Amino acid sequence: MDTTYININEDWHFNLGDCQNAWEKGYDSSAWEKVNLPHDWSVKQPFDRKYSSGTGYLSGGIGWYHKKFTLPEIFRGKKIWVVFDGIYKNSQVWCNSYYKGKWPYGYTTFRYDITEQASFGDAENLISVKVNHSDISDSRWFTGSGITRKVQIIIEDVVHPTPDGIFFTTPSVTSDKADIVIHNQILNDSSFDSLITVKNILLRTDGSETAYFSKTSLILKGETETILTEGSLDFPLLWSPEQPNLYKLITKLKVEANTSESSTCRDDLGAWNIVKTDMVGIRSFSFDADKGFFLNGVSTKFKGVCVHHDAGCLGAAVLPEVWMRRLMKLKEMGCNAIRMSHNPHMPELYDLCDEIGFLVMDEAFDEWEGPKNKWWNGHNVYPPRHQGYSEDFTEWHERDLKALIKRDRNHPSIVMWSIGNEIDYPNDPYCHPLFSHMTGNNDANKPAEERKYNPNKPNAERLSKLAATLTKIVKVEDITRPVTAAVAFPELSTQIGFIDSLDVVGYNYKESLYEQDHSRFPKKPFLGSENSHSFEGWKAVLEKEYISGQFLWTGIDYLGEAHGWPIHGSGAGILTLAGFEKTSFYRRQSLWSTKPILKIVTGRSDSNNDSEWKPMYTSWNYSPGEPVLVRCYTNLTSAELLCNGKSIGINTVDNQTGYISWILPFEEGQLKVVAACVSETKQITDTLETTTSSCNIELSLWKNQSSNVISHENISQIEVTVTDTKNRHVANDSTMLYVKIQGPGKLLGLENGDLSDVTEYTAHYRRAYEGRLLLYIHRTSKDAPIHIYVYGDNLKTAKIIL
């Protein structure tokens, strides 16, 4: 029998609060709330300043989930699994009243064998899940609460691959030929010693077969064996961010014979069964300590961003379509790499990185044995709290790390494993007498005594041993990728052996140490694992061949790590929580994109004009005669600015700032920038116009424009723009907007990107922020169209039909 996957993400029952004996099959949960997965109950609750600023002023608690389902009789005698892609956190699972186990870490994919507990035919099965997120100050960022990722039932034959046991590798790759070795870890869970044939078939995306590899081996009953299939592929289509070519790998098994002489011992002898399907890519890469990173033999810089896992009003219950929209925008900016901060993310996000074309740093942990500070009343406001993964690290780190590596190792996008983020942050909690006074990159407002050596804190010298232990765990499961970590305080860490076991060293905000430490450790490759958006930081990458690239903090705003009420998230992103572009998007696009870029932004002229952090806007609305600073973000050499057709001057890009600037008195009308694009032998332009009062609403359904990326249609994302009489975006509008839906549609949430707006996420109204709003609509049936209306005071009602 082919392996069967059953989606059980719909029609769960949920109760917020503890329930005695809710694990029992006979427990009546019919009055509980009906929900679909993924589900995050935290964003369904009100914001409240009594909760932790670190996790976005949203509550946690205890929740129970029930799911009833049936299994056809044909599955009797097969292996039955229930697989959870992630539950935050401290989950406990029962099947038909039988306790299956617990999993503390909220980001790990895990499974339980329910073969012996499952019922078949008309008999109902019940999966009961208890989630305990009572300690809501357990993270430095928003985590969400509940079954925040998908769940499925997997049915497979008694002879089957172990979980994530098919490992596709390419030991040697050129444009002419790829050598392929596939590790097939097979468990014979039958009652017989069996002769097993494994066949791995490689298909192009059009479905045509391009290669196959097979091998036969005897596997004793109850034993597991890794069967290696090997071969080569001529003229492979190589994977890269520019050309993310993928192949479909189909793994089949056939039981040729077994040791029993009875002809009835198995009814499927000689039958091929499809046991696993994976999307894989063929590429080569390497890190050189002097030359940097090479992909398919080409020197490549990481133009990366860090991302957290939430999506504003959706919390941690993010669907693939949401990530697709976000990633497409980052790709348009010129981004080619993603750092999965600071934990395993949902599996579909890695699929999208494969399909769209992003290099990935996959990260396991934010803390090890020692608990980091968790801010409750605002960032660096003392005293902190200290719940977190450190409570589970000693017992669970090996299982969690192995689960991450094995789950994700077939993704061509992943090129390095990070075993930790800022584990070496000074005095948080690891300390060392080498420095009497230690300051990291995030110490603003900390009391002086918190930055001094404290012998009662964990000794930082322990970090080198822990790093070596984690690195060894990674190497057991994958030797094809380097191990890295995001180092916060190399001034100390490089002297106590913390980086010794790392294959690639990542520095957070330490560009000033690149040259010095490259000389100290000439055999170690370096990169920026977390960086500010500064121009100097990018120049350090360009000017130093041995630095492989950088990962900006962050690509997208995120909930939590808030500086104080009512701010409930971090504004460090290039995209807002709603996925709209900030002006920093165009700044970075001018540095990273290979296409001609020309964009003007404005701000009030003042003593801050020289600061690259000065707030800038895509607006031409000021007081008459007011001096205005105009910046042009471009990768061209010069540009001319015109105001109402009159030239303000032709200026060139400043090598110190990376952009062009003008100052002029405001004059209502049109601001226009013109530049000559040599590569396209034409002029390109950008304009801003003075807008009038808001009067209209424009609705636009976001659509996937890429033919290379699989579209998912579970939800619709509708971008709302407030416009004036000439349908121009009014960038300073904050009108309260209301949403009404008719037909088979459900509003999943409204997100405006305003980090100070604490309107409940369950509301059907929200203010526009900078003239924009995003709607998430879930279609509940395909039987009829969905009519969506958006309206506000003094605005013409807008309608869109889905």
Chain centroid to Cα 472, Å, comes to: 25
pLDDT of 264 higher than 60: no
Q: How far apart are CA 667 and CA 627, in angstroms?
A: 10
- What confidence score (pLDDT) does residue 426 get? 84
Task: Quick: pLDDT tens for 750-762.
Answer: 999 999 999 999 9
Average pLDDT over residues 61-66: 99
- What confidence score (pLDDT) does residue 783 get? 87
Residue 395 three-state SS: helix
Angle at 335 between CA 751 and CA 485, to 5 degrees: 95
Tell me what the pLDDT averaged over the chain comes to.
Answer: 95
Q: Which range, of 234-243, 284-293, 376-385, averages the lowest pLDDT?
A: 376-385
- What confidence score (pLDDT) does residue 682 get? 78
pLDDT of 723 higher than 90: yes
Task: Quick: pLDDT tens for 550-587.
Answer: 999 999 999 999 999 999 999 999 999 999 999 999 99
Distances from the Cα of 369 to the Cαs of 134, 366, 396, 773, in angstroms? 21, 10, 11, 42
Q: How far apart are CA 802 and CA 741, in angstroms?
A: 11
H or E element at residue 163: strand 159-173
Task: Quick: pLDDT tens for 335-360.
Answer: 999 999 999 999 999 999 999 999 99
Residue 262 confidence class, pLDDT cut points 50, 70, 90: very low
Counting every residue written for the chain, the total comes to 802
Q: How far apart are CA 790 and CA 505, in angstroms?
A: 50
Which of these, 132, 61, 123, 60, lies nearest to 95 by C-alpha position?
Answer: 123
Average pLDDT over residues 130-158: 97
Residue 565 three-state SS: coil
Given a contact cutoff of 8 angstroms between Cβ atoms, the answer to whether 212 and 200 are in contact is yes
Task: Quick: pLDDT tens for 79-91.
Answer: 999 999 999 999 9
Task: Quick: pLDDT tens for 278-291.
Answer: 999 999 999 999 99
Q: What percent of the chain has pLDDT over 70?
A: 96
Average pLDDT over residues 258-264: 53
- What confidence score (pLDDT) does residue 380 get? 83
Average pLDDT over residues 258-272: 61
Q: How far apart are CA 623 and CA 626, in angstroms?
A: 5
Q: How far apart are CA 660 and CA 641, in angstroms?
A: 10
Task: Quick: pLDDT tens for 655-674.
Answer: 999 999 999 999 999 999 99
pLDDT of 113 higher than 70: yes
H or E element at residue 634: strand 627-634
Q: How far apart are CA 285 and CA 600, in angstroms?
A: 38
Residue 444 confidence class, pLDDT cut points 50, 70, 90: low
Average pLDDT over residues 602-611: 95
| 19-23 long-range contacts, CB within 8 A, separation 24+ | 19/64, 22/64, 22/66, 22/128, 22/130, 23/92, 23/94, 23/97, 23/99, 23/128, 23/130
Given a contact cutoff of 8 angstroms between Cβ atoms, the answer to whether 517 and 525 are in contact is no
- What confidence score (pLDDT) does residue 261 get? 46
Residue 41 confidence class, pLDDT cut points 50, 70, 90: very high
- What confidence score (pLDDT) does residue 187 get? 98
Phi and psi of 183, rounded to 5°? -90, 115
Name the residue with tokens 């003042």: 606
Task: Quick: pLDDT tens for 182-213.
Answer: 999 999 999 999 999 999 999 998 899 899 99
Phi and psi of 476, rounded to 5°? -65, -35
Looking at residue 513, the DSSP 8-state letter turns out to be G
- What confidence score (pLDDT) does residue 440 get? 63
Average pLDDT over residues 102-131: 98
Q: How far apart are CA 29 and CA 32, in angstroms?
A: 5
Average pLDDT over residues 497-526: 98
Q: How far separated are the first and last CA of the chain, in Å rounded?
A: 39
**Domains (ranges, CATH) in the chain?**
4-156 (2.60.120.260), 159-280 (2.60.40.10), 301-570 (3.20.20.80), 597-679 (2.60.40), 696-801 (2.60.40.10)
Residue 327 three-state SS: helix
pLDDT of 464 higher than 70: yes
Instruction: Pull the structure tokens for residue 454.
Output: 């404290």
Q: How far apart are CA 308 and CA 702, in angstroms?
A: 22
Which of these, 450, 329, 322, 432, lies nearest to 382 by C-alpha position?
Answer: 450
Q: Is the dihedral of CA 271, 272, 274, 275 positive or negative?
A: positive
pLDDT of 263 higher than 50: no
